[in-house]
Structure 1
């Protein structure tokens, strides 16, 4: 019996990892299915990675989190939420950092992470706020279709967690190559 204990531990650990991964997948799928659609304006960036293939690095427009708000010492957390206002098309603009209060009908919480460039320690003086996905990978040969991308389409849960669902053009229509 003692010789089977390592195998039981190994299989038990593997089962635990598989359960955890599947729970994360179910959670993300739930956000995609039931989340509120939010469009985030993009700053144009178009790199290519030899290892990853074709992808677009996503940097959200400064209107989403203005530089002076990002450097605001009132929100020094490295992880938190902002409140954005949504126009009639669902395009988000920064309203304030989340204080936990109730939201208006046109508002949505979005999670952010504050990171400093070049691996420095994040602080309000030298950091940037990152919201949502930071890159969008697409099939090789479809780069031309995504050159027109002006918005990231996020599906957002009530707690502010989000999943990148696609990209949209200047007419706010989803891009489908």
Structure 2
């Protein structure tokens, strides 16, 4: 009977530990990840602003070759950065390694025939749509394992919006 008394608190503690580990991992990525800028691809202007988010697409997503069975294809874009940290495509490979010292791996996923790099939306406060309309670059923090987080949007002059 005593084990029942500890089941709910123990389960809650486990859930909180897992959630907090995920948060700590993402905070570490934002703090320690490599900065890379990905050019945004044009998005249908009729769906660009929908409420409190902006639909995003990245130009580098077009570099991922189409495969016969792309329902659950995953891989890594290998990138190089210029002096302003803008990414250029080098190659696609199935793992984050091997790569040269100046190359960066960015994980991608293909779901439903669409390539996903990090996120396909940028959320912002209500009434802030005009602030983000000039966005032309997505600023990411990328870990050594290829995982990335979108942390900011930048305009054509690379100024943070």
* Corresponding residue of 1:60: 58
Native 8 Å contact 1:66 1:94 kept in 2: no
Native 8 Å contact 1:149 1:167 kept in 2: yes
Q: Does 1:164 align with 2:150?
A: yes
* Corresponding residue of 1:119: none
What does the per-residue CA deviation read over 1:153-177, in whole Å, with 9 as the maximum and x for residues that have no partner?
10111111111111000001111xx
* Corresponding residue of 1:47: 49
Match of 1:142 among 128, 131, 136: 128
Provide the C-alpha distance between the structure 2 equivalents of 1:115 and 1:77, rounded to a whole number of angstroms: 6
RMSD: 2.0
What does the per-residue CA deviation read over 1:44-67, in whole Å, with 9 as the maximum and x for residues that have no partner?
331314xxxx10111111xx1335
State the Cα distance separating 1:102 from its structure 2 match.
2.7
* Corresponding residue of 1:36: 34
In structure 2, stretches of 5+ residues that fail to align are none
* Corresponding residue of 1:97: 92
Native 8 Å contact 1:152 1:167 kept in 2: yes
Runs in 1 of length 4+ with deviation above 2 angstroms?
4-7
- The 5-angstrom pairing of residues 83-122 of structure 1 reads 83-98=78-93, 100-105=97-102, 107-116=103-112
- The 5-angstrom pairing of residues 3-42 of structure 1 reads 4-42=2-40
Provide the C-alpha distance between the structure 2 equivalents of 1:30 and 1:43, rounded to a whole number of angstroms: 28
Match of 2:141 among 145, 155, 160: 155
Native 8 Å contact 1:70 1:128 kept in 2: no
Q: TM-score, normalised by structure 2?
A: 0.87
Provide the C-alpha distance between the structure 2 equivalents of 1:172 and 1:11, rounded to a whole number of angstroms: 48
Q: TM-score, normalised by structure 1?
A: 0.79
Native 8 Å contact 1:81 1:97 kept in 2: yes
What does the per-residue CA deviation read over 1:15-49, in whole Å, with 9 as the maximum and x for residues that have no partner?
00000100100000001001111111112331314
Provide the C-alpha distance between the structure 1 equivalents of 2:125 and 2:136, rounded to a whole number of angstroms: 19
In structure 1, stretches of 5+ residues that fail to align are 117-126
Native 8 Å contact 2:61 2:117 kept in 1: no
Size of the aligned set, in residue pairs, is 154
Provide the C-alpha distance between the structure 1 equivalents of 2:98 and 2:71, rounded to a whole number of angstroms: 18
